[in-house]
Amino acid sequence: MASLVDELISVMQQEKDGYDKLYDLSNQKREAIVKRMLKRLEELNTQEEGVASDLKNLENKRTRCLTDMSVVLGHDGEVLTVTQIIDLLDNQPTEQKQLREAKDALVTSATRMQKLNDQIQVLLKQALEMTEFDLTLFRSLKGAPETANYNRNAYNTGDVLPSSGFDAKQ
């Protein structure tokens, strides 16, 4: 059982390190978004995908550890959570403390990452809105306003103002 606990703690520490690495990459990503550095943003996204893949593998490994621990503890057929395992380790205070610390560190790191992701999501939304505004502005610049010139039959002639804007004569 001690080896399973050690393996679980190791996996959780690796996950925490992965989230810390992802956090650093996301901070760089946030800066790239603010500075509109698209090439750097693309590089960071590629790196993030690799770290996210590693985190998924570690999550699967953690789940396997929890399944194995469930079998050893006599809870065959159900996967216990880390919190439940901590509660079941009353007779092993050292492992219980290490597991609790590893869990708290992982939760703190993942929560910090989630907050940064929320900030980045807001930044991306604002960047998209700004891009849409710029596109609308450029489209509207192409179509100059029509003049109020009418022909004999009281129809608008549809004359367009010159590209210089208004024709102001003094």
Of 63, 55, 49, 48, the residue nearest 8 (C-alpha): 63
| Within-domain flag for 161 | no
Given this model, what pLDDT does residue 118 score? 95
Is the pLDDT at 150 greater than 70, yes or no? no
| Within-domain flag for 21 | yes
| Within-domain flag for 168 | no
Average pLDDT estimate for 51-62: 95
The range of the structural domain enclosing residue 6 comes to: 2-141
Q: What is the pTM of this model?
A: 0.74
CA dihedral 113, 114, 118, 123 (to 10 degrees): 20
| Within-domain flag for 170 | no
More confident residue, 13 or 156: 13
Question: pLDDT digits over 88-103, tens only?
Answer: 888 888 989 999 999 9
Q: Which two tokens stand for residue 7?
A: 């393996």
| Within-domain flag for 97 | yes
Is the pLDDT at 72 greater than 70, yes or no? yes
Give the phi and the psi of residue 24 in degrees, each rounded to 5. Answer: -60, -45
| Within-domain flag for 28 | yes
Given this model, what pLDDT does residue 166 score? 53
Of 41, 45, 42, the residue nearest 33 (C-alpha): 41
Q: How confident is the model at residue 156 (pLDDT cuts 50, 70, 90)?
A: low
Count how many Cα atoms sit within 13 Å of the Cα of residue 153 in the half-sphere of its side chain.
2
Per-residue buried b or exposed e for 59-95, using 16+ beta carbons within 10 Å of the residue's own CB: eebbeebbbbbbeeeeeeeeebebebbbebbeeeeeb
| Residues paired with 160 in a beta bridge | 146
Given this model, what pLDDT does residue 40 score? 94
Given this model, what pLDDT does residue 135 score? 87
Average pLDDT estimate for 50-77: 90
| Within-domain flag for 14 | yes
| Within-domain flag for 166 | no
CATH classification at residue 63: 1.20.58
Task: DSSP letter for 143, please.
Answer: S
Q: Which two tokens stand for residue 24?
A: 């650093």
More confident residue, 116 or 160: 116
Is the pLDDT at 168 greater than 70, yes or no? no
Domains contained in the chain, number:
1
